Structure 1
């Protein structure tokens, strides 16, 4: 069965191509979104032949953390997958600084055994319920300007963001939804059927989350429960190993090798080729010796 990998990247070209090498397989196609704020020429492919079809999607956007441009980016990737006309059993959304923890044979075997399940993570902890309310109760404006480059631009952006928050709360301009909102990790492994359904409902998704903070943490969780695929959500979560206790998220260190290789997760984030090249080398050796 064919799988599609959708990768969101904005930096570290060498690490991205290393990741692509680990995903390279006759059964995989790889779709990449490079942040429009970045010169795509920096990501020139290395001079080697890949078994996978590797494609940089044309429909790029400027992605800002916390902004709805994040879900536009994700939907653009899914649209590119659907537009290919190929039938994929699973579509995996990962970051350019992620790594697989299992060889491709294991990932495909696992997905074959659990065919039809949707691997999406939900977080219903008390903290996240409060966080969900904070991010959705009132509309957000000026969010994309909080992290602009340049001290002046960033300062003005943050001031305008805070003023807008005071105005909407002072006037009690609450947001209204005709459905329940849910929250979790934005990284997922979903069936081709659910990917089609999300793309077909793109307009409704963007309208719902245009003024929400961090909508990428809510898009799939909310809309899968409104879809015909609601009964297919896997109890295994999203198959990712991500540590939010030690970082936002934590960057895996050399001492974490045993924890990673003994995990049941299929993927992990995040890694740094600059900080921990030895860890990446060891994991890469484990993955490639299985070929």
Structure 2
């Protein structure tokens, strides 16, 4: 049976640290604590007074003054790891934690999970080939020396960087190391930890190198584990559930996130709000419970992305300067079918193709696989289609040698609708308003990754009103935009009523429009 030694790095909130240590060690696991030497001395004394008598808790012999992005964070981790290895010979795994982390599974589940496979859990991606670093410095973190803290000594930090750059003072990466990068929240086996400590003693050159790299807590252990352990014994993932906003800030969890956290395929979560006292209480009770069963659906990240994106409605891409004055053509008509149920719009388009000679293209701005002619590469990726939207449409008009073209769009593409609506060409909209059953909404949530086969029914029932309201909101936004030539057909209306909207949209006689409105199984799911 696995026995976990938790490596806790912390610098504040002594009461929370005491409760965390008591909760995690109550079931027989261990903890080694490094409390930042910059923190308040009375806080450290309080923690020592509360935990010194706990045989399953040990403290790092040397406390380090820690700073973000510095080698000091790795130093502190090594100090805590050494203390844990010496004090707890029965520990089989060493799990890196912060004071903001809490278990989201029971100890029983965590031990069984670790027993299931003999491997190390640590994100370990190729430093230069992966896209783990999204923006900013990459090789500069390694080939230049960084002695100062970027946040507290910004002027010195960047002055030293610029001086080294001007003088060409680059350094080589140790020849036998392949630098890796990943999250600092790892879980390693005892054998791996002992190998790392032995390597540290044998390779002062590697220690000197990492000591002056920038943000080494994302590269040091990640590189050494990959260097020392066979790749088939490494799971390149973290067992701690964490998310970041678009601004690079960690997402904080509160009392109402309890069910969401339990359904994620992780053992711990970060960050738990200091104010989330009820969540902490429930998670603390859960860790010591027996027989708990967990329904893993793992939709947390997709749910967060879905919900936060709906709060930031705006243009995805700005117009390129060379397209500012471009137009589809004053004499042309762009006919846009707007429908959330793509299969309904496609059925109508198929019928329009049979009854008219107007070229019709399906969801070219939503489906990568939409069939398009070769237009020199501008149609090759979704990004290009969006960025060069007007140029793409002009080329399609030219390719089909027509002044009338039908396309389909999702109601979420309001930025596209507004862009084309402002063009000097004539733009007509046919919005198809469908009814959404609960079964359809559940299927939609699964298709877009908001839910999975194992998502608990309670979670789905809480999600359905949000998904339904989101669809209603998209329709309201289109209506509020007050487009000219905006026509609507509704699933709830009669074919005769819908024929009027189709006739106005396509400039067809009403008898032909009625045939289209009577398309068999048009609204069927």
What range describes the TM-score normalised by the shorter chain of this pair? 0.7 to 0.9
Q: 1:187 and 2:185 equivalent?
A: yes
Which residue number corresponds to residue 281 of structure 2?
281
Distance 1:85 1:6, change over 3 A: closer
Distance 1:243 1:129, change over 3 A: closer
Deviation at 1:223, TM superposition (A): 0.9
| Kept in 2: contact 1:99–1:267 (CA 8 A) | yes
For residues 81 and 169 of structure 1, what CA distance do their matches in structure 2 show? Answer: 41
Where in structure 2 are the equivalents of 1:34-113 lying within 5 Å?
A: 34-38=35-39, 39=41, 40-46=44-50, 53-84=56-87, 86-113=89-116
| Matched positions, count | 277
Distance 1:132 1:64, change over 3 A: same
Q: 1:136 and 2:129 equivalent?
A: no
Which residue number corresponds to residue 242 of structure 2?
242
* SS of alignment partner, residue 33 of structure 1: strand
Deviation at 1:62, TM superposition (A): 0.9
Deviation at 1:217, TM superposition (A): 0.4
Deviations 1:96-127 (A, max 9, x none): 1210111111111111111x200001356425
For residues 225 and 16 of structure 2, what CA distance do their matches in structure 1 show? Answer: 32
* SS of alignment partner, residue 80 of structure 1: helix
For residues 260 and 26 of structure 1, what CA distance do their matches in structure 2 show? Answer: 21
For residues 268 and 290 of structure 2, what CA distance do their matches in structure 1 show? Answer: 16
| Kept in 1: contact 2:122–2:235 (CA 8 A) | yes
| Kept in 2: contact 1:132–1:182 (CA 8 A) | no
For residues 88 and 33 of structure 2, what CA distance do their matches in structure 1 show? Answer: 17
Q: Which has the higher contact order (CA 8 A, sep 6+)?
A: 1
Deviations 1:234-264 (A, max 9, x none): 25x1211011236532221334333211111
Unaligned runs of 5+ in 1: 148-156
Which residue number corresponds to residue 167 of structure 1?
163
User: After the TM superposition, which of the residue ranges 28-37 and 221-230 deviates more from structure 2?
Assistant: 221-230
Which runs of 4 or more aligned residues in structure 1 lie more than 4 Å from their structure 2 counterparts after TM superposition? 47-50
Deviation at 1:26, TM superposition (A): 4.9
Unaligned runs of 5+ in 2: 292-525
For residues 122 and 28 of structure 2, what CA distance do their matches in structure 1 show? Answer: 22
TM-score of the aligned structures, taking structure 2 as reference length: 0.49
**Computing the radius of gyration over CA atoms, which structure comes out larger, 1 or 2?**
2
| Kept in 2: contact 1:25–1:104 (CA 8 A) | no
User: After the TM superposition, which of the residue ranges 121-130 and 224-233 deviates more from structure 2?
Assistant: 121-130
Deviations 1:65-105 (A, max 9, x none): 10001111111112112223614211111111210111111
* SS of alignment partner, residue 226 of structure 1: helix
Deviations 1:5-63 (A, max 9, x none): 1111111111111211321245312110111122121424448975x611122221111
